[in-house]
Structure formats: structure tokens, C-alpha cells
Amino acid sequence: MDNFARAHLPRIAALALASASLLAVTAAEAKEITIWCWDPNFNVAIMKEAGARYTKTHPDVTFNVVDFAKTDVEQKLQTGLASGTADALPDIVLIEDYGAQKYLQSFPGAFAPLSGTVDYSGFAPYKVEVMTVDGQVYGMPFDSGVTGLYYRKDYLEQAGFKPEDMQNLTWDRFIEIGKEVEAKTGKKMMGLDPNDGGLVRIIMQSAGQWYFDKEGKPNITGNPALKAAVETVGKIMSANIYKPANGWSDWVGTFTSGDVASVVTGVWITGTVKAQPDQAGKWGVAPIPALSIEGATHASNLGGSSWYVLESSAEKAEAIDFLNEIYGKDIDFYQKILQDRGAVGSLLAARGGAAYEAADPFFGGEKVWQNFSDWLVKVPSVNYGVFTNEADLAVTAQLPALTQGMPVDDALKAIETEISGHIQ
């Protein structure tokens, strides 16, 4: 055996080398696009669907969709960008809209501009705005977080309210209804995580304001929408019409378990609401309540995210072409992900298809998608800036004090001090 190996070793080595180089050649021809995103039932599933569609027409391109938790995606991305080692990064990454400017501005040159390729006029303007820096547009706008008020028809009926009573509410009326619901049914009106600034953001944006003005300067003490939003959340907490939740899954549990009568959040929650088949027919969807201040609307946004191509990616050209082909043009794709996953895309041309006109039996035959798409165009456009996470924590830090009777103006001052400290 030893002799055999010794005699043939050069040939074996040559064969191994040859096959290795052959493999390397074929590997270079087949392109694999690696994608990082979160939520297996939503983003991951949708991206797999998009990849399958593209591979049909481009058999040489395959996709590797990697599923992480959202914070893990953000942390890995931030670490990878900071270390400057491109090998550690994917070709395409999903970024939540609130964080887009932060990444684009603090890691200049890390993301590929798509301005020349993608026709951005076809997308909801507020989505394009969050990915624009110095006139260059980065990223492919994806799902919208247009908000709605999901409510339990059965609980509200027990409390003496009809679906018509839930239309065009004000927040004060919403709180009154909440008190009635608790008195009559023993159920809380909503789940609320006091560590999550989401509700404040929804209410504030519905009146066309944000923590920052168009120039990115803090807009706190002189911001009537923020003041009203903070006041409203304070009222909800003092009225005790909410079930406290700690963290996301806890919060989801408040309504999947049937403990609360309504949910105010982004359209992407639809899949989670519908995941409880025994609650079919019990839910309705209405526009969110409005503030009683100038500029108040019933439309707002929570979350929503977009796809970004890394400048360092070896498959940059293919990645850009893929996003443009599927997310930028494929109307049929948008119909499918709406029906399958409840994804309301921000490509305006996709809003006319049959899927949007379909009635949903889970919501008692309401045409909920049509409603969401009507509200989508009414969402006031704001500048999320680069410090939304900081502002969010500053706001939630003041919420408990508010319920103990702290004047709103003092709370706003404290919020402003905290945010100013972060802006350097």
C-alpha cells in the first residue's frame, strides 16, 4: 500500500489540484447572493419567494437567505461595517427605516447607490426620503408600516359599540370606549409596553411631526404633535385601560391570548393576528384615532424596512439587478406577498391588483387591504433623522413620571436635554 501511494502520489495530487481548480471555475460562474434579514414568517419568506422568482429567469444566480433576530442583524451589520472587513458582510441586508439614515451617514461608502438603476418615482415618497443622502438614493423600498386600529368586534359589541362607532375616532374617545369596555367585559382596551416608544411615534407621525425637523435638529419642546402624543399615552396609562407588557412577545401575547380588545400598530401585524384561527371573524380594522390638533390625520406609520446592497459585495451587480427586477417591477410578486404574508409594499403601481380588492373572511369580509392602501398615501412624510433610537429611549424614560402627575412640558424638557446630549 505504501509503495502504491508513493508511486501514485504525484498523479493523485495533480488530479486533486485539477479538480479543485475546475470547481473554482464553476463556483466563480454560479453567483450566490447572501441576504440577512429577520422574521421567518415575513421578511425571510418573502425574500425566498423573490429569490425563487429571479432564479427562474437567471438560473446562474442562487440565494442564501439568512434568518437572524432583528437586533442581531443590526449588531452584526454595525460590527462588520466598523471592522472594515467586507468578508463578514452579506450582499443584501434588510434595514428598518428608522435606522437607515444612521447607517448611511455613519458608514459613508458602505452601501451601493441605486439612483441610476431604480425608478424611485414609482414608490411612496416617504420611503424614498428615508434612504436619500446628499441627493443619492440608496436601497430598495420594501414594506410599509402603514398603521391601523385592529379591534375585537365581539368585545366591543358586548360593551355596546358597533363597527361604525370605531371609525374616525379621536384618542379621547378611544380612551372613553376603553373604559366602557373594561367596565362591561373586564377586558383591557390594549396591550402596552412602557419600554417601547412605538405608540408615541405612531401618534406623533399621524400629525406630521417627528422627534427631529427636516434639518435633523431636535424638535421636542416646540412640537405640538409630540406633546399631544406623550399626553395621550400618559392618559392611556393613567386611565389604566392597558395591559402592561414587557417586550415584543409579551406584547403580542396580550392580543393573541384574547386579553385585550384592540391593537394599534403597523399593517405587518396582520399575519400575527390571523395566526389565531379561532379568532376568525372576530376582528375588524379601522383607521387609527386622530389627535385633536392641527395637522392631525388618521394615517401613520410604524416600522417598515428596506433592502440595501453592500458596496463591497462581490455580487453587487447581480444583487442590484435582482432587487430592481423583482421589488421594482414585478406587480404579480406584490400580489402574492400581500395575500400570503400581509405585506403592503411601497411600490405604488402594485396597489391596483386583484389582491387589494379581495375581501378577507378573517376580518368578516372587509376589504382591509384596500383600506390600508388608501391610508398608505395619506401617511405624513417626516424626517426620521439619525437619532430615533436615542429619542425613543428618552421618551419612554419619562412615561412613568407622567402617569404620576409630572407636567408634560417638564417631561418634554427632560427629553430634549437627554437627546441633545446624544447629538454630537
Partner 1 sequence: MALARRGGIGRYYDINGWLFVAPALGLIALFMVYPIVWSLWMSFQSGRGMMMKFAGFANIARLWNDPVFIKALTNTMTYFVVQVPIMILLALILASLLNNPRLVGRAFFRTAIFLPCVTSLVAYSVLFKGMFAFDGIVNSTLQAIGIIASPIPWQTHPFWAKALVIIAITWRWTGYNMIFYLAALQNIDRSIYEVARIDGVPAWARFTHITIPLLKPVILFTTVISTIGTLQLFDEVYNLTEGKGGPSNATLTLSLYIYNLTFRFMPNFGYAATVSYVIVVLVALLAFLQFFLAREREK
Q: Which residues bind partner 1 (CB under 8 A)?
A: 71, 74-75, 78-79, 81-82, 84, 102-103, 105-108, 193-195, 243-248, 250, 386-387, 389-390, 393-394, 396-401, 414, 417-418, 421-422, 424
Residues 6+ apart with CB under 8 A from 276: 256
The 31-37 sheet, strands edge to edge: 61-67, 31-37, 92-96, 305-309, 140-141
Phi and psi for 170 in degrees, rounded to 5? Answer: -105, 165
- Residue 33 CB, nearest approach to partner 1 (Å): 25
Least distance in angstroms from the C-beta of 361 to partner 1: 32
CB of 107 vs partner 1, minimal distance in Å: 5
Counting every residue written for the chain, the total comes to 424
Q: What angle do CA 223, 225, 231 make, to 5 degrees?
A: 105
Shorter beta-carbon distance to partner 1: residue 259 or 325: 259
Per the listing, cell 412640537 goes with 223
Q: Which is nearer to partner 1, 300 or 398 (CB)?
A: 398
Comparison of 62 and 79: residue with beta carbon closer to partner 1? 79
CA pair distance 412, 222, nearest whole angstrom: 9
Least distance in Å: CB of 137 to partner 1? 20
Among residues 167, 139, 171, which one has the least CA distance to residue 153? 167
Backbone angles phi, psi at 7, to 5 degrees: -70, -35
In the bound state with partner 1, the residue whose beta carbon lies nearer, of 379 and 394, is: 394
Residue 386 Cβ vs partner 1, minimum distance, rounded to whole Å = 5
Element (H, E) at 67: strand 61-67
Kindly state the smallest distance separating residue 197's Cβ from partner 1, in Å.
10
Q: How far is the CB of 391 from partner 1 (least distance, A)?
A: 10
Q: Minimum Å distance from CB 400 to partner 1?
A: 5
Please report, for residues 105, 232, 294, 386, 418, the alpha-carbon distance to residue 215 in angstroms, rounded to integers and kept in the order given. 14, 27, 22, 11, 19
Question: In terms of CB distance, is 240 or 381 closer to partner 1?
Answer: 240
- Label residue 393 exposed, middle or buried (CB < 10 Å: 0-12, 13-18, 19+): middle
Angle at 72 between CA 389 and CA 94, to 5 degrees: 75
User: For residues 136 and 297, which CB has a smaller minimum distance to partner 1 in the complex?
Assistant: 136
Closer CB to partner 1, residue 119 or residue 250? 250
Nearer to partner 1, 1 or 183 (CB): 183
CB atoms within 10 A of CB 165: 15
How far apart CA 421 and CA 424 sit, in angstroms, is: 7
The CB density around residue 272, as the number of other CB atoms within 10 Å, is 17
Residue 376 or 399 having the CB closest to partner 1 = 399
**For residues 91 and 319, is the Cβ–Cβ distance under 8 A?**
yes
Minimum distance from CB of 49 to partner 1 (Å)?
Answer: 30
Q: Between residues 40 and 84, which has the closer beta carbon with respect to partner 1? A: 84
The least distance separating partner 1 from the CB of residue 138, rounded to whole angstroms, comes to 15
Count the alpha carbons within 13 Å of 166 in the hemisphere toward its beta carbon: 28
